[in-house]
Amino acid sequence: MDQDQKKETAIGSLFAQWTKSQADLWEDMIRMQFGMSDASEKSRKNPLHQTQKAYESGSKILGALISTLSEPENLESALKGMDSLPEFMMHITQQAYEGYLEFQKKIVEIAAKIGQHTEAYKFEGIDQNIFKVWRDIYEKEFRQYLNVPQLGLNRFHQERIARLIDTLNIFQASLNEFIYMFYIPIEKSGAVMQEKIEQLAEKGEIHDNFKEYYNMWIKTLEGHYMTLLKSPEYAEVMNNTINALVQYREAKQEVLYDILKEFPIPTNKDMDELYNDLYILKKKVSDLSRKLEESRGV
């Protein structure tokens, strides 16, 4: 038996003694609290006696559990189970941290490109990576935690709230991308204007009327927007934003319906059902009236 094994045995024996003393302590505590009551038939119906019994039963289970733990092999297995908790936490933290690092790396890559030449009237391959990266990371790393199956009585409510958080995140990411895309023509026309002014200055043709520059800028900006708005990239981003908005609104309404159910007011869902019935009825009445008029020869 080497030194390590001896040490482990000593710790195991110490733990077994401690658990036994814990079990004894709980038994004594129960006995002390209820020790004064008698054991007659009458007193057995007494609520105090029933409580004592429940405590005794509970303490016995607790004692049994503690005694079980005092067995070295059981203790080892329990400790192994406990080991998995920090491992699980580690896993989550690692994934989140890796995601964050990846995100930061992309930001640095994009930041490095700042100042590079921006080509006027070109919208193919716009660098929206930052939004795509965030979305990718969110979808791969974080979203899964919101999709963990919910349990128990409130599982449906929890699922709805998780979906609301998820759709809100996606909508915000899509909206940011959309807004960024809308900003690009402003950036590009600024660059074009800078070039134009430089050219005018070189020729000594600088205008003294600010309106001339404004007209030049607005025309350039309009041209950039026209190019952007026709591009398939823009249509795709717009479509993503629309879909994300629709899904977020749907999720939000589901949560709202849950809340509003507790109040004596009808929800849109209730009203829509009613409106649909009304619509069908009106249509039937209108058809029947028409048929009646036709049969009368009106």
Partner 1 sequence: MSQTNIAVNLILKKLAETTGKAKIKVRKASEVLLSPLDTELSKTPYEVVYKEDRVGLKYYKPSEVKHKYPLLIVYALINRETMLDLQPGRSVVQTFLDSGLEVYMVDWGYPTRKDKYVTIDDHVNGYMDNIVDFIRKKHGLPQINLMGICMGGAFCVMYSALHPEKIKNLVTTVTPTNFDTDKGLLHVWMKYTDAFLMGESYGNMPGDLMNLGFLLLNPARLILDKYVGFFENMDDKDFVENFIRMEKWIFDSPDVPAATFHQFVTDCYRKNLLIQNKLELNGRRVDLKNITMPLLNFYGQYDHLVPPEACELLTKAVGSKDTEDICLKTGHIGIYVSSKCQREFGPKIIKWLKEREGEPKTDKSPETSRTPSGSKIRRETVKYVSPKKIIGKESKPASPDLKKAK
Q: Are 135 and 173 in contact (CB under 8 A)?
A: yes
Q: In 10 A of CB 139, how many CB atoms?
A: 14
Minimum gap (Å) between residue 89 Cβ and partner 1: 39
The nearer residue to partner 1, 59 or 224, going by C-beta atoms, is: 224
The nearer residue to partner 1, 82 or 226, going by C-beta atoms, is: 226
183 counts as binding partner 1 under rule CB under 8 A: no
Q: Are 166 and 141 in contact (CB under 8 A)?
A: no
Q: Of the candidates 57, 70, 50, 3, which has an alpha carbon nearest to the alpha carbon of residue 26?
A: 57
User: Using CB under 8 A, which of 13, 21, 50, 243 touches partner 1?
Assistant: 243
Contacts (CB under 8 A) with partner 1, residues 75-134: none
- Window contacting partner 1 (CB under 8 A); options: 28-36, 52-60, 65-73, 231-239: 231-239
- Window contacting partner 1 (CB under 8 A); options: 1-9, 70-78, 199-207, 255-263: 199-207
193 counts as binding partner 1 under rule CB under 8 A: no
The dihedral region occupied by 265, where left means phi > 0, alpha psi between -120 and 50, and beta the remainder, is beta
The nearer residue to partner 1, 13 or 276, going by C-beta atoms, is: 276
Q: In 10 A of CB 259, how many CB atoms?
A: 10
User: Using CB under 8 A, which of 47, 125, 152, 204 touches partner 1?
Assistant: 204
Rg for the chain, CA atoms, rounded: 36
11 counts as binding partner 1 under rule CB under 8 A: no
The 3-class secondary structure across 6-74, one letter per residue, is HHHHHHHHHHHHHHHHHHHHHHHHHHHHHCCCCCCHHHHHCHHHHHHHHHHHHHHHHHHHHHHHHCHHH
291 counts as binding partner 1 under rule CB under 8 A: no
Question: Cα–Cα–Cα angle for 108, 112, 118, nearest 5°?
Answer: 130
- DSSP per residue, 228-270: HHHSHHHHHHHHHHHHHHHHHHHHHHHHHHHHHTTTTS--HHH
The nearer residue to partner 1, 44 or 249, going by C-beta atoms, is: 249
- Window contacting partner 1 (CB under 8 A); options: 9-17, 95-103, 124-132, 275-283: 275-283
User: Using CB under 8 A, which of 161, 162, 229, 255 touches partner 1?
Assistant: 229
**Contact positions vs partner 1 (CB under 8 A):** 182, 185, 201-202, 204, 206, 208-210, 214, 218-219, 221-222, 225-226, 229-230, 232, 235-236, 238-239, 242-243, 245-246, 249-250, 268, 271-272, 275-276, 278-279, 283, 286
